[in-house]
Structure 1
Amino acid sequence: MNDAGRFRLPGDKPPLLVLVGPTAIGKTGLSIELAKRYGCEIISGDSMQVYRGMDIGTAKITREEMQGVPHHMVDICEPDYPFSVAEFQERVRQLILDIGSRGAIPFIVGGTGLYIESICYDFQFTDVGSDEEFRQEQRQYLEEHGPEALHARLAERDPGSAARLHANDTRRVIRALEVLHLTGRTLTEQLAGQTKESPYNLCLTGLTMDRDILYNRIEARIDKMMELGLVEEVKGLLARGITRSHISMQGLGYKEIAAYLDNEMSLPEAVRLLKRDTRHFAKRQLSWFRHMKDINWIEIPEHAKVSRILHKFHEILAGKFEGVTEYIGEHEYPQI
């Protein structure tokens, strides 16, 4: 059964399905089943999966796992490329038009809050310029006092951005400070001032689950990453000349393992930090999504059957769009 092309929409806005949730909650498997049922093409809303050769640490979907469902915004640039939210927005806007022209439904799936919200509500990003002297001052402060001190400086001036950014994401921390320096307004204020009207007929669904269960899933996923060869993946990137200063290498999994490979800590300590930082990241993801409007939340129990979650998603979709046929498909899917 497939509902593609049967949605009757009010007005002229094109449909856009969006599925968000914290890392390790099960978005990938669920999104495939939803895409097959509703005739969707998936757009990754993950800021790290754009990089080629960074597969294990990003939990990137494999070709086999895609099951023939078209995926976009995966493996589109090299790890030394400074990919940005503005470029993501520009590319995805066009993708949504292209997918719709093929009679399919665009379906954004991911966990990078700013990237996804920039599409849902058509944020306007203006080029405020740069101040290299100011940047150098911040880099000097970073070198003398460390990332936590630099992050604390941001927390004093822009608590919202500090809550969103990890201390080790020093490039974005410096950029947030620079934007405030250049404009007199924090990034948080600028984001809050964005129009929250969507240019799309938006069906936005979020997944959540008990915090302890989610944290156990995160730790199990990281153990699996280590078994699959995360250390070798990071070692290979470093050997190619991808340095720790590149944006891609500041992602979770890469910065911790790179520190281990540079003899700054033991491997068990790197894994411990990775698990801790990923738990913190999941908490920040949930905090971001809960401040977004229009989200229909689905609670995922510990041993959820995908068929039950599909049914709940269908109810949300049927409430948003006319012409969505009665749910058919009480199959036995694996657990999410």
Structure 2
Amino acid sequence: MITKAPARKPLLLAPMEGLLDFVLRDVLTRVGGVDRCVSEFIRVTGSLLPDKVFLRYLPELRNGGRTLAGVPVRAQLLGSDPVSMAENAARLAALGPEGIDLNFGCPARTVNRHGGGAALLREPEVIAAVVAAVRRAVPAHLPVSAKMRLGYDDAGRARECAQAMEQGGACELVVHARTKADGYRPPAYWERIPEIREAVAIPVVANGEIWTVADALRCRGVSGCDALMLGRGMVADPGLALAIRAQDVGQGAFALPWAALLPQLARFWQLVCEDLEPRQRAGRLKQWLNLLRRRYPEAQRAFDEVRVMTEQRAIGAWVARAVELAATAGGRAPAGPAA
């Protein structure tokens, strides 16, 4: 008898403005376990954006819409005008992204004040119009998905908003299980996702407060979603997707050691220095080390050392020395499940 292998449960890498950009996408997909990424949102305010804007947010468009590790990247657009969104989606589609995602979840005041992001969760009819316009504007083979929160002030219209996205032609829906009013404060209300799943026939992906394997398993159980989107949890623990994957295939616990992460930290610093302005570089490394402290005790010591540095040369020397010391100590990554 031939035993059918269990279906792979998708793990997506979240878009996070100012944090999870193309630099971290490159590094985290090199670690492995991620099936698909979504870019930071590209804001559409009425004008037709030039190609250089799309390429700035998604340099992966020069690599067939994939990270250098081969993971596809879906481009995210944010806006409220159906015509402008459609025109920009058509231009973006010509550059070859894996698909187009629409942002109906950003809680930023500036975005919401101009009617974008989570503000549209008060207007399901506008959501439907935006999704439908984008769906008509791009080739039929190109996926159009959407990301939403539970609502603006409350979750009273969550089902209605999800149905508007489906009716507009979205093929997949990611639900960040908090309202705009909740911001990023824990907890995430995974228990509200089943009613959204019941309201639509398209796949639903659960998102929010998934920091550990235990969180991922609990989220799946509560939400009923096999597919998960990982955000800050993956940034804080770059081995999280591989650890979840190990559980899925029955390989037991998996942990990415600090010594094995250090070469990726060096890769991150290299990309930061190549692609970001000098004034941004030190801050980006400190930002990542700050989150890594949640998972790695060694990151606390690293953060304390780097925090007082401002010169690129000094930070580069620190990174090179840390990698060299780890290599000398023989730090290697354990074998993980298939990415």
Q: TM-score, normalised by structure 2?
A: 0.32
